[in-house]
């Protein structure tokens, strides 16, 4: 939820930290700060607001020093202000700390430290940890890494931290538990961050810290890793596979728009090497020998949050329909706490763009403990969920920077569609001709997404009609019902217009009471199997003077004539329609948000990856 960046080496730290924080700002953006170490000691600067405000504040006198830590915050404990911003200093001001996560027992620790004479400036849990490390260090006269290790043994909760101390220059100490931390290894220099985005322009060699590991990076001794239990570890060096260009806006006003427009490519990338139309083949190498297990599973349980949960619902429709395997889709946050019945006959699939969502990670851990096969559909390579699973498939969408998920959603849906096809073929539950048609059509979906994007100007025009409304209703049926949920979520999160998604037939059971001339109703009307029923739902809206925006197929006549506005998408096989029908809804939300003057990439109160509960 927050972003950490740190540097140790022979370059000036300040410009690297600021640039790194800008790369990480999508993770949290309510305040930012840095601390740089030089011969005179630690210099810390903190500011409420965006990284730019911090930079303006420091302005013409940037601190000098070749080691430093930085943080961009998404507030948990204490409102966003200058004091609560990180880094936090110890009582004697000699040690500074940046932290992602939550220290759950901070109140107890704080009370104990206050008894020892510690005074706190902020309302944060992080400052308590800084003081705790100082206390442990002073009591035992310990080196920094040992004080950090012992202090962390007393901490309950989640953390990724980097600590710097003026008593031990030339060294940074980092640790993680349930919150990611990556260490980039350069030539006689180290780059630490909560994800690889600020590291990639400096080095491709990285180490992902594991849970309950502590790393010490030192100019003299290189990198050493041990566990909190004091066991020495051998770090594994990974090669980053990420392009710097994917972290730039490349001429688009917002990352979200860029990412919407990337979808023809990202969907194709998700299928690369997995689909072969000539050979009538779909294969998911990463799931390899687990396919038999899934076919024989008592049921598949999909755990996810937000947009990833919506893609899971589409997976449920497709897998049950095509492969005839029972699927349940659960909010990870509910699943993990409701004592679910899971056995070793179940297969649990975690879906996550970031691979770091705390609830999804915990749900997967629970499933593993109970003996289920744990699989993942993840975007971020090397992320915690990806590393926890028994097997999985990456969606290969590249970094998604806009807080509102777009290309990750279509990548997940493409992956789940391939999974449904693989399972259906293996189980013999699909007619071979139909299988071939779906494979050929799926391979052609990127071209059809290009066509949907050509309607951009028309969608922008419709956005103008909706931008001043206060509510919106999204309706869909079958596998387009989750698309309605996703459309509503997109509108809510970036434009702050209240929106709800419903199965179209549910409208009569309550939401119809909301409909009047002020209510735009966005209906996904592409399902051939339920065309007449959707047409009736639209009539019901029209009879109550609601404004209907219908997503229809290119040759549609009847519904287009009924609707106030029609958005056309190319015709396709019904199970594949979500990959097309969601695109106009993404664009619609985007343009409405822009017209309302919202910061599309950094909507209020949200952060890209939710690494705390
Ligand atoms: O990284 P994840 O896919 O696990 O994230 C799950 C949700 O937090 C995420 O999809 C969220 O709902 C997005 N803001 C949706 O646009």
Residue 351 shares a structural domain with residue 462: no
Residue 186 shares a structural domain with residue 283: no
608: annotated active-site residue: yes
CA of 406 to the centre of ligand 1 (A): 10
Residue 289 pLDDT: 85
Residue 58 pLDDT: 93
Half-sphere exposure of 372 (CA within 13 A, CB side): 29
Residue 446 shares a structural domain with residue 544: no
Residue 202 shares a structural domain with residue 269: no
Q: Report yes or no on 182 lying in a domain.
A: yes
Residue 314 shares a structural domain with residue 441: yes
Q: pLDDT tens across 46-69, in order?
A: 999 999 999 999 987 899 999 999
Q: Report yes or no on 613 lying in a domain.
A: no
CA of 307 to the centre of ligand 1 (A): 5
Q: Is the pLDDT of residue 515 over 80?
A: yes
Residue 232 shares a structural domain with residue 247: no
508: annotated active-site residue: no
**CATH code of the domain in which 312 resides:** 3.40.50.10490
Q: pLDDT tens across 463-506, in order?
A: 999 999 999 999 999 999 999 999 999 999 999 999 999 999 89
Q: Report yes or no on 444 lying in a domain.
A: yes
Please tell me the residue having the least CA distance from ligand 1 atom 8.
306
Query: Is residue 405 within 6 Å of ligand 1 at its C-beta?
Result: yes
Residue 309 shares a structural domain with residue 412: yes
C-alpha to C-alpha distance for 45 and 59, rounded to whole angstroms: 11
Residue 184 shares a structural domain with residue 269: no
Residue 426 shares a structural domain with residue 501: no
CA of 505 to the centre of ligand 1 (A): 27
Of 526 and 26, the structure prediction assigns the larger pLDDT to 526
Choosing from 430, 451, 472, the residue where a domain stops is 451
Give the domain extent around 12.
Answer: 3-240
Please tell me the residue having the least CA distance from ligand 1 atom 7.
306
Number of Cβ atoms within 10 Å of the Cβ of 464: 11
User: Global pTM?
Assistant: 0.89
C-alpha to C-alpha distance for 147 and 145, rounded to whole angstroms: 5
pLDDT average, residue stretch 589-606 = 94
pLDDT average, residue stretch 550-570 = 95
C-alpha to C-alpha distance for 137 and 95, rounded to whole angstroms: 11
Residue 293 pLDDT: 94
Choosing from 240, 263, 286, the residue where a domain stops is 240
CA of 526 to the centre of ligand 1 (A): 26
Give percent of the chain above pLDDT 90.
88
* Pocket probe mutation, ligand 1, options 331, 405, 487, 491, max atoms within 8 Å of Cβ: 405
pLDDT average, residue stretch 304-320 = 98
Query: Is residue 306 within 6 Å of ligand 1 at its C-beta?
Result: yes
Query: Is residue 247 within 6 Å of ligand 1 at its C-beta?
Result: no
Residue 609 CA: nearest ligand 1 atom is 1
C-alpha to C-alpha distance for 316 and 314, rounded to whole angstroms: 5
Q: Report yes or no on 26 lying in a domain.
A: yes
Q: How does residue 8 score in pLDDT terms, banded at 50, 70 and 90?
A: very high
**CATH code of the domain in which 91 resides:** 3.60.20.10
CA distances from 461 to 432, 454, 456, 464 (A): 43, 13, 9, 5
Residue 163 pLDDT: 98
Residue 415 shares a structural domain with residue 507: no
Choosing from 451, 482, 507, the residue where a domain stops is 451
Q: Report yes or no on 283 lying in a domain.
A: yes
Query: Is residue 360 within 6 Å of ligand 1 at its C-beta?
Result: yes
Residue 273 shares a structural domain with residue 398: yes
Q: Report yes or no on 605 lying in a domain.
A: no
Question: Whole-number mean pLDDT of the chain?
Answer: 94
C-alpha to C-alpha distance for 18 and 52, rounded to whole angstroms: 9
C-alpha to C-alpha distance for 95 and 35, rounded to whole angstroms: 10
Q: pLDDT tens across 172-198, in order?
A: 999 999 889 999 999 999 999 999 999
Q: Report yes or no on 610 lying in a domain.
A: no
Residue 60 pLDDT: 79
Q: pLDDT tens across 117-159, in order?
A: 999 999 999 999 999 999 999 999 999 999 999 999 999 999 9
Q: Tell me the sheet residues that pair with 466.
A: none
Q: Report yes or no on 179 lying in a domain.
A: yes
- Report the candidate in 217, 152, 142 with the shortest Cα–Cα distance to residue 179: 152
Residue 198 pLDDT: 94
Residue 401 pLDDT: 93
Residue 108 shares a structural domain with residue 131: yes
What is the number of domains present in the chain? 3
Please tell me the residue having the least CA distance from ligand 1 atom 4.
352
Q: Is the pLDDT of residue 25 over 90?
A: no
Residue 607 pLDDT: 82
Residue 440 pLDDT: 98
CA distances from 29 to 3, 84, 404 (A): 9, 13, 15
User: Considering Cα of 126, then 131, then 135, then 141, what sign does the dihedral take?
Assistant: positive
Q: How does residue 382 score in pLDDT terms, banded at 50, 70 and 90?
A: confident
């Amino acid at each position: 939820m927050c972003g950490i960046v740190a540097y140790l080496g022979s370059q000036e730290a300040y410009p690297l930290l600021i640039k790194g924080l800008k790369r990480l700002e999508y993770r949290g953006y309510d305040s930012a700060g840095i601390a740089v170490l030089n011969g005179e000691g630690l210099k810390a600067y903190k500011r409420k607001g965006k990284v730019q405000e911090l930079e303006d504040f420091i302005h013409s006198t940037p601190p000098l020093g070749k080691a430093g830590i930085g943080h961009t915050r998404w507030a948990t404990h204490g409102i966003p202000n200058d004091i609560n911003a990180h880094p936090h200093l110890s009582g004697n001001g000699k040690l500074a700390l940046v932290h992602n996560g939550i220290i759950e027992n901070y109140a107890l620790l704080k009370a104990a430290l206050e008894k020892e004479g510690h005074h706190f400036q902020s309302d944060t849990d992080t400052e308590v940890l800084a003081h705790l490390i100082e206390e442990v260090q002073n009591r035992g006269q310990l080196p920094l890494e040992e004080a950090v290790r012992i202090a962390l043994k007393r901490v309950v909760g989640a953390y990724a931290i980097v600590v710097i101390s003026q008593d031990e220059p030339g060294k940074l100490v980092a640790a993680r538990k349930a919150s990611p931390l990556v260490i980039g290894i350069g030539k006689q220099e180290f780059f630490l961050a909560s994800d690889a985005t600020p590291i990639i322009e400096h080095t491709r060699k990285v180490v992902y810290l594991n849970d309950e590991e502590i790393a010490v990076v030192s100019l003299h001794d290189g990198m050493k890793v041990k566990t909190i239990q004091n066991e020495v570890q051998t770090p594994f060096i990974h090669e980053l596979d990420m392009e710097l260009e994917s972290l730039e806006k490349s001429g688009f006003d917002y990352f979200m728009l860029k990412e919407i427009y990337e979808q023809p490519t990202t969907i194709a990338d998700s299928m690369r090497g997995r689909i072969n139309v000539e050979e009538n083949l779909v294969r998911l190498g990463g799931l390899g020998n687990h396919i038999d297990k899934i076919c024989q599973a008592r049921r598949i349980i999909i755990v996810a949050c937000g947009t990833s949960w919506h893609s899971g619902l589409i997976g449920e429709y497709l897998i049950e329909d095509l492969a005839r395997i029972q699927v349940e889709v659960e909010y990870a946050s509910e699943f993990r706490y409701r004592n679910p019945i899971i056995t070793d006959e179940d297969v649990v699939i975690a879906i996550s763009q970031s691979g770091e969502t705390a609830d999804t990670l915990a749900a997967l851990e629970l499933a593993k403990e109970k003996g289920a096969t744990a699989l993942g559909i993840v975007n971020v390579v090397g992320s915690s969920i990806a590393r926890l699973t028994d097997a999985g498939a990456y969606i290969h969408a590249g970094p998604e920077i806009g807080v509102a998920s777009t290309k990750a959603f279509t990548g997940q849906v493409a992956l789940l569609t391939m999974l449904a096809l693989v399972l259906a073929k293996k189980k013999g539950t699909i007619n071979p001709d139909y299988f071939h048609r779906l494979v050929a059509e799926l391979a052609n979906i990127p071209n059809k997404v290009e066509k949907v994007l050509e309607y951009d100007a028309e969608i922008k025009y419709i956005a103008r009609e909706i931008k001043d409304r206060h509510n919106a209703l999204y309706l869909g049926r079958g596998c387009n019902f989750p698309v309605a949920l996703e459309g509503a979520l997109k509108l809510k999160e970036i434009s702050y217009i209240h929106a709800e998604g419903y199965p179209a037939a549910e409208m009569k059971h309550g939401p119809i009471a909301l409909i009047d001339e002020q209510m735009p109703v966005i209906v996904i009307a592409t399902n051939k199997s339920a065309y007449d029923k959707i047409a009736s739902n639209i009539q019901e809206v029209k009879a109550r003077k609601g404004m209907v925006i219908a997503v229809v197929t290119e040759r549609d006549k009847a519904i287009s004539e009924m609707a106030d506005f029609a958005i056309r998408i190319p015709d396709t096989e019904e199970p594949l329609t979500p990959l097309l029908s969601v695109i106009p809804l993404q664009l619609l939300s985007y343009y409405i948000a822009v017209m309302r003057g919202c910061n599309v990439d950094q909507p209020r109160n949200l952060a890209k990856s939710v690494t705390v509960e």
